[in-house]
Structure 1
Amino acid sequence: MYSKNGCGRPFFEYNKRMKKVYRIFFGGWFPLTLLAIFTLTWVYQVRSVGFYLDDWLYLSAYHQGGFPALQAYAFDDSRPGLLPYVIGLGFKLIGYNRLGWQLWSLFWRYLGGVGLWLLVRTVWPKRGAVAAFSAILFAIFPFFKHQAFAIAYNQIWIQGALVSFSFWLTVRALRSERSGDRCLLTAAAMLLSAAQLLMTEYYLPVEAARLFLIHFVSAGENGRAKAVLALQRYVPYGLLLAAYGVARFAVMPRWVADRNSLSWIREFSGPLDLSLHMLQMGLQYLTESVWGVWYRSIRPDRMNLLIPSQRIALIFAAAVFVFLTVSFTCGTKDDPEDAESDSDAGAIVRFGAALTLLGFLPGMAIDKNPSTTFIYHDRFMIPAFLGLSLLIPAAFAKFVNKRWLRIMALAGFCAVAVNFQIVNSFDYRTAWKNQQDFQWQLYWRVPDAKPGTAFLGDGIIASFLGGWADGAMVLEMYGKGTGLDPTPYWYLVVGEGDFEHEFQNQLPLTNKVKIYNFRSEFRNNIVLTKNEWDRCLWVLEDLDRLNPYISPTTKKLINYQNPDRIIYDSGRRLTPAIFGAARPRNWCYAYANAARAVAVGDDAEALRLYDEAVVARWDPLKPVEFTPFIRAAARTGDWSLAAELTERAGWEAHITHEYFQALWEELTAAGEASPERTAAFERVRPLITAPDGN
């Protein structure tokens, strides 16, 4: 025998126990259920991600310049309100711990989901399923790819939580029978609203949705009376919003530069062109929110089940899908909301639609369309996440009659979100690994540097970096907390023609960007080529003019490098909380440390590192990376080993012969002649001679 809702007696003796479990999971204990799904979604990411892009600006600003530097950056970024205090509070509570920052940012996103659940359960208590699915969707909503930017986007999730709790407190105030409680709850709601507005204007238009919410919970004899009552109750919030509008759009632009001004509107010839452009953007937001969010989250073109993270993502997503489907299918039989009229669902649809449309406005106001394909434009959809998370479950409750179909569809959306977040985290884990490889290889080779040193490189350090983020990261590696003006260290990517005037005229290199003011005198540079999958990080020297693996543009920079900028004996260490523990030992560990040892004359240490590499069977990446070991062997008089190492490095002799010929000329010129040296030179002659014998 089978029950009407499709759950058989063999599976569960009717549904009494299942309904009890459901009420535990999705009743008063729902925040724990949400936490479990939330943890399942993010646990795979937080273990292996770090700092990216603007994270490094906030981090280096606070660590090197203190709170005044945070304030200066906020002013430069047109954020003169509470933002530096919010970020500063994070540093006070968490310090510089990358895992701590990830958890802090996720905590606020989770709290936003709890606030949304409380709001729906308070306003529409019969709509428990809508409340649960809305909270889950907001907490793990897909599309936005940069959750890992834990410092840079931290305030957005704080704002989302404050908005949802502020709305909830407004409802509590309206339904309170005691005037004292109403005043306190209204004041608390306004305080949260003011706090989030003073961080950034991301959620500014969303605040207007409070009027719709007040209208839904206001009692009135007819539509007009209800509207009048709602307007009366909205007055304090409206005054707050108006005061912020005056401060933001009239006062602030006279105080600081406004990077989010509306001046772009003047580019259009008339109202018609502007209206068509706004219509176009509105359609882009609508299509991205209805279709793009889910299609771009699935990304079938990137599906590869041979990648472990994608298999884990599918397993976790399937687990969430099964849990939600079984819980709601078997646990909500005879749920009161199925017998209710659909008026509640219709109200939530209208409120969710209003929140969504208002959430589109911040991006539209600065002429930015939402996209995951245009870098970092996906953030402009975030203000609409609250509305979309409400709208989707409510629309299914309103327009889809078959309960099993509603449940499976909504569980499917949640599963897609789980899968997206886990798969998306793979790019960030890879980028952080590449960052750490760069950081530690550079540190092993250059343990410290003199202030006023420019690190000149041939490319951005890793994905989700570049420009000022590269410079801020290197500053954090070598900075001693002496401030940002002048900025003592910086990383510059130098391409063809870059700084040509400065190099030709022996002028200082300068780079003034945001709050950083860097200057290095002529030739106060360390020239490097960054590590890749097939080579280690190299700090270049004169010999590298013949290195076949370096571009001609980078070779020109060798003319301006100065090895005396390196400090070998400072004893300085990288901050573990920021940069992690030392990278696992491998060939690049041996190479970088051997190059440093040879630079200070510790040839025995270099040879010890080579022995360690042999025992550990670390495979060399490029032939030229044998150079420090060959030098150490020759300088200690072990010419036979020097020849053996050159032979080991000879697998691409057709392009490396000039390089190693110059190396052996350097070694033989420095040492005394001996039969061993002569024999070794004859042994390597075929490898250091041009293929035609010349």
Structure 2
Amino acid sequence: MVRRNLTAWLSHSITFPLILFLLLVLAYGLFLPWLGFYWDDLPMLWIGKTYGAEGLKAYFATKRPFWGLLYQISMTFLGTAPWQWQLYAFFWRWLAGVMLWLTLRQARPQQPTEAAWIALAFSLYPGFGQQPISIVYSHFFIVLTAFFGSLYASLRAIRTPAHRWYWHSLGLMLSAINLLSMEYFFLLDLLRPLLLIQALTSTGAQRWRHALRHSLPYLILFVGIGLWRAFFFPYQTYNYQPHILTALAAQPLTAIGHVLTRILNDSLRAGLWVWFYPLQRLTMLPTAGPRTLIFTLVALAAALSLLFFMGRRTWRLTPPSGFSQRSQAARPWLGLGSAGLLLAGWPFWLTDLPVHFGFPYDRFTLPFMLGAACLLVGLVRLLPASLPTAFLVVALGLATAAQTQNSGDCRRDWEVQRALFWQMAWRIPALKPGTTIVMQGLPLRYYSDNSLTAPLNWIYAPENPTSRMDYLLVDLDVRRSHWALQSGIAHQPVQVDYLAAMFTGSTDQVLVLYYQPPACLRVVDPVLEADNLFLPPRLRHVAARLSAPNQIEIATPAPRLPAFYAPEPPHGWCYYYEQADLARQRRDWETVVALAETAFALGDYPNDPAERLPFIEGYAHTGQWEAALTQSLEAARVAPTMHGVVCRLWERLLRETPTSPQREQAHEALRQEIPCP
């Protein structure tokens, strides 16, 4: 009796949404409380808070204006707490999967098991790893949910002729949301006739005619919006140009060969090889932190167990013994999957954008998710005996674990980024407006300098709602177009259009910072570190020519960070180093020494020899020459490349401090250890 009741419950329509929810918790939810904001989340959040709906409208005006309306709606009721946005993105990811499952069940009600596995594969697709970028991708999945809802409504119009106009009206409205929002899923709307054919009971050419007739209103909408986007929307190619069209005009045969190669490679990569990608990801698991390792293994074990249980009880794919019968069962999904893959990549093939795994280009795998899921189930449907279910259990279990591992990577990136801004706040109380902060080799995967410019302004100019942005952050490894900054040329303008605001500065207002954890954030000294080989060569060059530490306003209290950066990290070595370097700039030598005693009493130590420099100066200026010598020798012993830095520091100390026997004795001892000129 219990077993029969369990089987009946597992077969209930509510079961799939619940199982999908549990699997998504394992894939995307275990790290959710520790995730933050990533990539374009930060600019959008800052623009929404600073400039409101008008700012968001300006930001999306040259991108996807209708999509921007969705952001305006979301940001009116969601705050700035990361967990709220993470839950919001999780909800839409789950709802998109449920909507796809309902759609496929309408298309082929005789194959509910295949519909369940396809929706699971779509929801756990391992090629896309940007789910934690919650503000951006919650809205992507809103559009995907609308697209699946449109397909579902058009199928319901066939199933319930008495209400077909209601369902068609709903379907057209939801289709318009997809077509007007973005180009990612635009061409996938052409899959509609293939799905309608599955739901029709007529045969042969009549079946195709009926499918096209039911699709006609949607095709008219598709063509109408397509013509508007191509010929009347002025910003369709504002951000990305259709390079392939230019190449076709110049070298047609070469361009056609390139496109065909891209279609084949990207379809195979995003549609087939993607299911083996988790194996590659999981080989990196031993280098992950202990929390990521434990959570990933828990997710893998739990997902495999749950999928195995459901595969045995409810979702077992029992193939016929003959290959021809298995082929017949697989044909609808193979056809839908192949068509989905061939339609998915055109926004990127036309603009010659790469479709790769890994940030940031894995976002281009989003349109391939549906085709890849259908193709996977279609292919395993060709396998005999119990192999189809077993393969799906293993593939989706590994995909779940890979997504958990990816969330762990995002958690670490958020912590590194939080530490960057807390250390910046400890070291830099305020900045003069117009400052460009220059860095190189940011130790962050899910951020760019464009991302970090938003919190920089949020922290240092929280009350500036004007269209003139006060601060800019530039990574020399990314912004190659800033030729004056790259070359270290003074007296040149620096301008960046942030869409909602404009930054205007000059290369005379530059502050160079260096950040490579576990070392602390450092304000690079342009005099002492002109040949510090611990710095990247280009950053060293720019620092020597342009860096102006006086851009820091030192006579102000520390800034207040946005609430989502709370709580303040514990005060360890980096806190005392930043405070000591700030006190050194204020020439408050007693405070530098007091901070030195506290810092060295921690039992911690510098992770960069340059972190000893302010303490050397503090000891020297307070007459503690033996301590200054000790710290100088410790810094120099790390590597010979520090000798020049230490020597120049002592040249400055000899100029700025009064003569004394202790000073001369310490200097002579230093020269015996380091060959200073």
Same topology, TM > 0.5: yes
Aligned match of 2:279 in 276, 298, 304?
298
Task: State the Cα deviation string for residues 662-682 of structure 1 (Å, max 9, x = none).
Answer: 444544554555xxx533652
Q: In the TM superposition, what is the alpha-carbon distance from 1:20 to its structure 2 partner?
A: 4.1
Task: State the Cα deviation string for residues 539-598 of structure 1 (Å, max 9, x = none).
Answer: 425444475634565255345333332234145211031x34323432222101111133
Task: State the Cα deviation string for residues 164-211 of structure 1 (Å, max 9, x = none).
Answer: 122112222322253xx4332222221111112211011111111112
Q: Structure 1 residues 657, 354: closer, same or farther in 2, change over 3 A?
A: closer
Q: Structure 1 residues 405, 335: closer, same or farther in 2, change over 3 A?
A: closer
Q: Structure 1 residues 559, 385: closer, same or farther in 2, change over 3 A?
A: closer
Match of residue 8 from structure 1: none
Matched, 1:319 2:307: no
Distance 2:661 2:638 in 1: 24
Match of residue 69 from structure 2: 85
Matched, 1:142 2:126: yes
Distance 2:141 2:548 in 1: 46
Task: Verify the 8 A CA contact 1:117 1:135 in the aligned structure 2.
Answer: yes
Task: Verify the 8 A CA contact 2:428 2:582 in the aligned structure 1.
Answer: yes
Q: TM-score, normalised by structure 1?
A: 0.85
Match of residue 420 from structure 2: 438
Task: Verify the 8 A CA contact 1:502 1:509 in the aligned structure 2.
Answer: no
Q: The residue matched to 1:299 in structure 2 has which SS?
A: helix
Aligned match of 2:339 in 342, 350, 354?
354
Distance 2:308 2:568 in 1: 45
Q: Structure 1 residues 188, 666: closer, same or farther in 2, change over 3 A?
A: same
Task: Verify the 8 A CA contact 2:430 2:553 in the aligned structure 1.
Answer: yes
Aligned match of 2:4 in 16, 27, 33?
16
Q: Structure 1 residues 306, 692: closer, same or farther in 2, change over 3 A?
A: closer
Matched, 1:469 2:457: no
Task: Verify the 8 A CA contact 1:536 1:621 in the aligned structure 2.
Answer: no
Aligned match of 2:164 in 155, 159, 182?
182
Match of residue 117 from structure 1: 101
Task: Verify the 8 A CA contact 1:69 1:515 in the aligned structure 2.
Answer: yes
Q: The residue matched to 2:433 in structure 1 has which SS?
A: coil
Q: In the TM superposition, what is the alpha-carbon distance from 1:256 to its structure 2 partner?
A: 5.9
Q: The residue matched to 2:599 in structure 1 has which SS?
A: helix
Aligned match of 1:215 in 197, 215, 220?
197
Aligned match of 1:165 in 149, 160, 176?
149
Task: Verify the 8 A CA contact 2:442 2:516 in the aligned structure 1.
Answer: no
Task: State the Cα deviation string for residues 208-265 of structure 1 (Å, max 9, x = none).
Answer: 1112222222343x42333333232222222211221121112114x66444554522
Letter of the structure 2 residue corresponding to residue 589 of structure 1: Y
Q: Structure 1 residues 604, 637: closer, same or farther in 2, change over 3 A?
A: same
Task: State the Cα deviation string for residues 284-337 of structure 1 (Å, max 9, x = none).
Answer: 133214432123332179445464434542442232122212332245689999
Q: The residue matched to 2:508 in structure 1 has which SS?
A: coil
Task: Verify the 8 A CA contact 1:512 1:518 in the aligned structure 2.
Answer: yes
Matched, 1:392 2:379: no
Q: The residue matched to 1:499 in structure 2 has which SS?
A: helix
Q: Structure 1 residues 66, 689: closer, same or farther in 2, change over 3 A?
A: farther
Q: Over aligned residues, Cα RMSD in angstroms?
A: 3.6
Q: Structure 1 residues 40, 601: closer, same or farther in 2, change over 3 A?
A: same
Match of residue 482 from structure 1: 464
Task: Verify the 8 A CA contact 2:484 2:492 in the aligned structure 1.
Answer: no
Q: In the TM superposition, what is the alpha-carbon distance from 1:39 to its structure 2 partner?
A: 0.3
Distance 2:197 2:486 in 1: 65
Task: State the Cα deviation string for residues 27-82 of structure 1 (Å, max 9, x = none).
Answer: 423212111110011124434443333334323433443333322332333x2x31
Matched, 1:682 2:665: yes
Q: The residue matched to 1:76 in structure 2 has which SS?
A: coil
Distance 2:484 2:241 in 1: 32
Distance 2:445 2:284 in 1: 20
Distance 2:526 2:75 in 1: 40
Task: Verify the 8 A CA contact 1:542 1:558 in the aligned structure 2.
Answer: yes
Task: Verify the 8 A CA contact 2:439 2:476 in the aligned structure 1.
Answer: yes
Task: Verify the 8 A CA contact 2:416 2:444 in the aligned structure 1.
Answer: yes
Q: Structure 1 residues 567, 298: closer, same or farther in 2, change over 3 A?
A: same
Aligned match of 2:21 in 35, 51, 55?
35
Q: Structure 1 residues 165, 605: closer, same or farther in 2, change over 3 A?
A: farther
Trace 1:621-660 onto structure 2 (pairs within 5 A): 621-636=607-622, 638-639=624-625, 641-643=627-629, 645-646=631-632, 648-649=634-635, 651-652=637-638, 654-660=640-646
Match of residue 263 from structure 2: 282
Trace 1:194-205 onto structure 2 (pairs within 5 A): 194-205=176-187
Q: The residue matched to 1:582 in structure 2 has which SS?
A: coil
Distance 1:522 1:281 in 2: 42
Aligned match of 2:247 in 246, 267, 270?
267
Distance 2:542 2:360 in 1: 34
Task: State the Cα deviation string for residues 505-553 of structure 1 (Å, max 9, x = none).
Answer: 6344334565653222453222222334445423425444475634565
Aligned match of 1:206 in 188, 201, 221?
188
Trace 1:531-680 onto structure 2 (pairs within 5 A): 531-534=516-519, 536-540=521-525, 542-545=527-530, 547=532, 549-550=534-535, 553=538, 554=540, 557-568=543-554, 569-577=556-564, 579-636=565-622, 638-639=624-625, 641-643=627-629, 645-646=631-632, 648-649=634-635, 651-652=637-638, 654-667=640-653, 669-672=655-658, 678-679=661-662
Task: Verify the 8 A CA contact 1:446 1:596 in the aligned structure 2.
Answer: yes
Distance 1:388 1:99 in 2: 30
Task: Verify the 8 A CA contact 1:116 1:164 in the aligned structure 2.
Answer: yes
Distance 1:523 1:430 in 2: 35
Distance 1:693 1:371 in 2: 51
Distance 2:146 2:490 in 1: 55
Distance 1:332 1:661 in 2: 73
Q: Structure 1 residues 133, 564: closer, same or farther in 2, change over 3 A?
A: same
Task: Verify the 8 A CA contact 1:348 1:390 in the aligned structure 2.
Answer: yes
Aligned residues: 666
Match of residue 429 from structure 1: 411
Structure 1: unaligned runs, 5 residues or longer: 1-12
Q: The residue matched to 1:612 in structure 2 has which SS?
A: helix
Q: In the TM superposition, what is the alpha-carbon distance from 1:117 to its structure 2 partner?
A: 1.4
Match of residue 10 from structure 1: none
Letter of the structure 2 residue corresponding to residue 416 of structure 1: L
Task: State the Cα deviation string for residues 599-653 of structure 1 (Å, max 9, x = none).
Answer: 3354454344333323321222233322323333444455555455445545348
Q: The residue matched to 1:282 in structure 2 has which SS?
A: helix
Letter of the structure 2 residue corresponding to residue 69 of structure 1: G
Distance 1:90 1:146 in 2: 19
Q: Structure 1 residues 627, 291: closer, same or farther in 2, change over 3 A?
A: same
Letter of the structure 1 residue corresponding to residue 456 of structure 2: V
Letter of the structure 2 residue corresponding to residue 264 of structure 1: I
Q: In the TM superposition, what is the alpha-carbon distance from 1:271 to its structure 2 partner?
A: 5.9
Q: Structure 1 residues 418, 115: closer, same or farther in 2, change over 3 A?
A: same
Letter of the structure 1 residue corresponding to residue 563 of structure 2: P
Q: In the TM superposition, what is the alpha-carbon distance from 1:661 to its structure 2 partner?
A: 4.5
Distance 1:287 1:335 in 2: 27
Match of residue 405 from structure 1: 387
Q: Structure 1 residues 171, 651: closer, same or farther in 2, change over 3 A?
A: same
Q: The residue matched to 1:82 in structure 2 has which SS?
A: helix
Distance 1:256 1:28 in 2: 42
Match of residue 88 from structure 2: 104
The farther-off stretch of 503-512 and 93-102 is: 503-512
Task: Verify the 8 A CA contact 1:325 1:411 in the aligned structure 2.
Answer: yes
Task: Verify the 8 A CA contact 1:305 1:311 in the aligned structure 2.
Answer: no
Q: In the TM superposition, what is the alpha-carbon distance from 1:687 to its structure 2 partner?
A: 2.7
Q: In the TM superposition, what is the alpha-carbon distance from 1:654 to its structure 2 partner?
A: 4.8
Q: Structure 1 residues 337, 207: closer, same or farther in 2, change over 3 A?
A: farther
Q: The residue matched to 2:181 in structure 1 has which SS?
A: coil
